Copies of this chain bind each other. A is one copy, B any other.
Amino acid sequence: MTAEPLPRQVGHPLATEFRLTEVLQALSDPLRLDIVATLAESGVELSCSAFHLPVTKSTSTHHFRVLREAGIVQQRYEGTARMNSLRRQDLDAVFPGLLASVLSSAVRNER
């Protein structure tokens, strides 16, 4: 009676549920800001391990979860990897110009 393993999935907030303070909080961590900037520059999906973050796997999981729960990244499984992409359209729809100004500020400020 071994149950079928459930397909792995994660919950993402709807764009209507985004909260500004939560987004700002998520972006206020240097590591996470770096992740977002890297995603924006690359323009493609990236696995968690592609970032070579200077923290352990479990801490990495934590940061990606904060970004996901704030609505900043979209995650989906591809094999064993979890692919991350920016929710640009959703963010722009709810907070117009915010991501762009944060990203250009991040470049100027060198994080």
**A residues at B contact (CB < 8 Å):** 18-22, 24-25, 27-30, 33, 94-98, 100-102, 104-106, 108-109, 111
Q: How many copies does the complex hold?
A: 2
- A109–B18 Cα distance when bound, in Å, is 8
A111 x B21 contact (CB < 8 A): yes
B108 x A97 contact (CB < 8 A): no
Query: 9 other contacts beyond A21-B30, A22-B28, A24-B33, with CB at 8 A cut-off?
Result: A21-B33, A24-B27, A24-B28, A25-B28, A28-B28, A95-B101, A95-B108, A98-B102, A100-B101
Tell which of B24, B96, B100 touches A24, judged by Cβ atoms closer than 8 Å: B24
- A94–B104 Cα distance when bound, in Å, is 10
13 A–B contacts, CB within 8 A, in A order: A19-B109, A20-B33, A21-B30, A21-B33, A24-B28, A25-B28, A94-B109, A95-B105, A95-B108, A97-B97, A97-B100, A97-B101, A98-B101
